[in-house]
Amino acid sequence: MGVETDMLHWIQYVKGYVSIKVWGYSTERFLNLCGNHDILVWDIENCGDYYTMKVSLKGFFALKTLLRKTGTRASVLQRHGLPFFVPEMKKRKIFVFGLLLCLTFWMVTTHYIWDIRIEGNYTLTEDVLMDYLEEQGVHTAMRKKELQIEELEMQLREEYDIITWASLKVDGTTLIIQIRENEIAGSNYDGQSDEGMTEPGNSAESGRDIVASRDGVIVYMITRKGIPQVAVGDTVEKGQVLVSGAVPVYNDDTTIRRYQYYEADADIMITYEKSICVERKTAWQDKEYSGKEKKILLFGFRDKEWNLSAGKVPYETYDISGEKKQVQLLDHLYLPFFYGVKHAKEYAFVPKIHTDEEMNQIMEEEWNKILKTLEEKGVQIIEKNVTINKNEKVWVLNVSMQLMEEAIMKVPNRTEQIPVTESEEEVLTE
Contact yes or no for 309/316 (Cβ under 8 A): no
Task: Please report, for the domain that includes residue 38, its CATH number.
Answer: 3.30.70.260
237 lies in the same domain as 302: no
Phi–psi pair at 406, nearest 5 degrees: -85, 75
Query: Is 94 a member of any domain?
Result: no
What pLDDT, in 10s, does the model give residues 323-365? Answer: 777 777 666 666 777 788 888 888 888 888 888 899 999 999 9
CB atoms within 10 A of CB 309: 14
Query: Is 175 a member of any domain?
Result: yes
Query: Is 394 a member of any domain?
Result: yes
Query: Is 34 a member of any domain?
Result: yes
Per-residue pLDDT, 112: 79
Per-residue pLDDT, 414: 66
Give the residue from 164, 160, 205 showing the smallest Cα distance to 411: 205
Per-residue pLDDT, 195: 38
Task: Please report, for the domain that includes residue 163, its CATH number.
Answer: 3.10.20.310
CA angle, 233 then 235 then 241, to 5°: 105
Q: What is the DSSP letter of 201?
A: B
The last residue of one of the domains, among 37, 68, 86, is 86
9 lies in the same domain as 82: yes
376 lies in the same domain as 326: no
120 lies in the same domain as 177: yes
Query: Is 92 a member of any domain?
Result: no
55 lies in the same domain as 118: no
**Residue 226: strand, helix, or coil:** coil
Give the residue from 177, 230, 47 showing the smallest Cα distance to 19: 47
**Residue 168: strand, helix, or coil:** strand
- As a whole number of angstroms, the distance between CA 324 and CA 139 comes to 20
What pLDDT, in 10s, does the model give residues 69-117? Answer: 888 888 888 888 766 666 555 555 565 566 666 666 666 667 778 788 8
Contact yes or no for 43/53 (Cβ under 8 A): yes
Per-residue pLDDT, 369: 92
Per-residue pLDDT, 331: 61
- Domain count across the chain: 5
Query: Is 320 a member of any domain?
Result: yes
- As a whole number of angstroms, the distance between CA 230 and CA 243 comes to 8
344 lies in the same domain as 378: no
- Burial, 197: exposed, middle or buried (Cβ in 10 Å; 0-12, 13-18, 19+)? buried
Per-residue pLDDT, 232: 94
- Beta-strand pair 112-113/51-56: unpaired
**Residue 60: strand, helix, or coil:** helix
- As a whole number of angstroms, the distance between CA 271 and CA 218 comes to 7
Query: Is 195 a member of any domain?
Result: no
Instruction: Report the DSSP beta bridge partners of residue 258.
Output: 249
Q: Which residues of the chain have pLDDT under 50?
A: 1-3, 184-200, 417-430
Instruction: Report the DSSP beta bridge partners of residue 389.
Output: 396
Per-residue pLDDT, 271: 95
Give the domain range for residue 230. Answer: 200-268+408-412
Per-residue pLDDT, 372: 92
- Plot region of 75 (φ>0 → left; ψ -120 to 50 → alpha; else → beta): beta
What pTM, to 2 d.p., does this model score? Answer: 0.43
Query: Is 100 a member of any domain?
Result: no
Per-residue pLDDT, 430: 38
Per-residue pLDDT, 391: 87
CB atoms within 10 A of CB 276: 14
345 lies in the same domain as 373: no
319 lies in the same domain as 362: no
78 lies in the same domain as 13: yes
254 lies in the same domain as 310: no
258 lies in the same domain as 325: no
